[in-house]
Amino acid sequence: MSGLAEGTVRGLVGVVAAPVGGVVTCVTRVLQGVEGTLQSRDISEARREESERSRPRRATYGARGELRPYSELDALWVARLRTLQGGTLAGARLVIVEAGLREPSVTLVVTTAHLLVVRVVGPGGAAIGDVTVESILQLRDISVVEARGDVILIATLAGGESGLKCKSREQAALIAEALGGAVVAAQQQ
């Protein structure tokens, strides 16, 4: 009799426990699927939000990546630098961006390593249109930066000289000062 009672009890417990265990396993797997879906949705939403940003990422400045108040022009140029010169300027940190040097379409972009004079053609302003790099110099190759009137004089270690015409004496002086500081910093690295 004891064997019969033991078998009956095991059978009754199994009849109740097996379906309960199956339901628990089923609920667990459904919850794992829901969690995975929510995680992938969070990732895809983050990617979508990044692509639908209302403004470009903030530019960072100088060798230490300092932050300054947001400038859309600078932010657009940081994004644009990723595509110029075959991507070799990607990740560049800005020193200054000055749009409209001698004419509205000419922009001076100084990073911690390069000086670029670019011409922007087309609608959209100083960083949106098609860009042609008119000249590019590595800052470590520059020996002298000097403002003379409304012109910034740049001399290279190789003996070359060039001048950048600005809109005013004040603009030339400010740019020459910032560019000179960037040249010194680049040569010290």
Instruction: Sort 101 into a burial class: Cβ within 10 Å, 0-12 / 13-18 / 19+.
Output: buried
pLDDT score for 1: 58
Which neighbouring-strand residues pair with 142?
156
* pTM, two decimal places: 0.63
Question: Where are the domains positioned within the chain?
Answer: 1-52, 72-188
The dihedrals phi and psi of 14, each to the nearest 5 degrees, come to: -65, -40
Asked if 70 contacts 64 with a C-beta cutoff of 8 angstroms, the reply is no
57 alpha-carbon distance from chain centroid:
6
> Would you state the pLDDT for residue 169?
92
pLDDT at position 150 over 70: yes
Note the pLDDT tens digit of each residue in 63-117: 788 888 988 888 888 888 877 777 788 778 888 888 777 777 788 888 888 888 8
Residue bearing the bigger pLDDT, 174 or 36: 174
Q: What average pLDDT score do residues 131-140 get?
A: 86
The CATH number given to 72-188 is 2.30.29.30
